[in-house]
Amino acid sequence: MSTLASKAQLRASFIRWALFAVPAVLLAAFLVQQFTPGGPGNYWYDSLEKPAINPPSYLFGIVWPILYVLMGIALALVLSAWGAKGRTAAIVLFVVQFVVNLAWSPVYFSLQQIDWALGLIVVLDVLVIATIVLFWRVRMLAGILLLPYLAWILFATVLNFQFLQLNPDASGMGDDDGGVVQTIEL
């Protein structure tokens, strides 16, 4: 006997992991977004000067779910690679970069810290590159599936930088003078 599992068993393992990983990634992202008042309709964000490369807001709602599905599939490929060298390190790094990814929106939109968000997304860029390398070593397809994610966050890094350039005094505005105050006299 030369193999530990048949191709059918490996395929079934991947499907089981995909049925866990894809919804888990989507759910985590959804929950963070539910508690982060971001994008259009956010008074602070609406008041910012927008860079010329800023895409229409609806595009984010299309791109991110696709990227999260690809991330979940890539994770499932690595999770199902039992016994692969570097599997555990790849999974741990994926979780770390995913937490950093999820932290960006609250830092940018809730804390209204464009500069901190820029630092965070640069860290995310490095973590995603490292994750791609580790995923690639475990399963090449898993690394390939993360390339669109890397492209998007590199674009988001440039966008974050341009927002900071155009709005150098906007970080933390919501704490003191950037929020909406309504006075009601009786």
The CATH number that applies at residue 132 is: 1.20.1260.100
Confirm whether 186 is domain-assigned. no
The band of 1, judged by pLDDT with boundaries at 50, 70 and 90, is very low
Mean pLDDT for 121-139 is: 98
Q: Over 80: is that where the pLDDT of 172 sits?
A: no
The band of 179, judged by pLDDT with boundaries at 50, 70 and 90, is very low
Q: Over 60: is that where the pLDDT of 168 sits?
A: yes
Mean pLDDT of the chain: 89
The whole-angstrom separation of Cα 150 and Cα 51 is: 21
Domain count within the chain = 1
* Residue 77: predicted pLDDT: 97
Confirm whether 38 is domain-assigned. yes
Q: Over 90: is that where the pLDDT of 178 sits?
A: no
Could you report the per-residue pLDDT of 50-67, keeping only the tens digit for each?
Answer: 999 999 989 999 999 999
* Residue 12: predicted pLDDT: 75
Confirm whether 30 is domain-assigned. yes
Could you report the per-residue pLDDT of 83-98, keeping only the tens digit for each?
Answer: 899 999 999 999 999 9
Q: Over 70: is that where the pLDDT of 36 sits?
A: yes
Q: Are 29 and 61 in contact (CB under 8 A)?
A: no
The whole-angstrom separation of Cα 64 and Cα 152 is: 9
Confirm whether 183 is domain-assigned. no
Tokens of 169: 């005094």
Which residue range forms the structural domain that includes residue 117? Answer: 7-172
Q: CB count, 10 Å around CB of 73?
A: 19
Q: Are 64 and 81 in contact (CB under 8 A)?
A: no
Q: Are 114 and 123 in contact (CB under 8 A)?
A: no
Tokens of 79: 């999770």
Confirm whether 181 is domain-assigned. no
Confirm whether 178 is domain-assigned. no
Query: Could you give the residue ranges of the DSSP H alpha helices within 35-177?
Result: 43-47, 57-79, 87-105, 114-138, 140-145, 147-166, 173-176
Q: Are 83 and 141 in contact (CB under 8 A)?
A: no
The whole-angstrom separation of Cα 36 and Cα 167 is: 21
* Residue 133: predicted pLDDT: 98
Confirm whether 74 is domain-assigned. yes
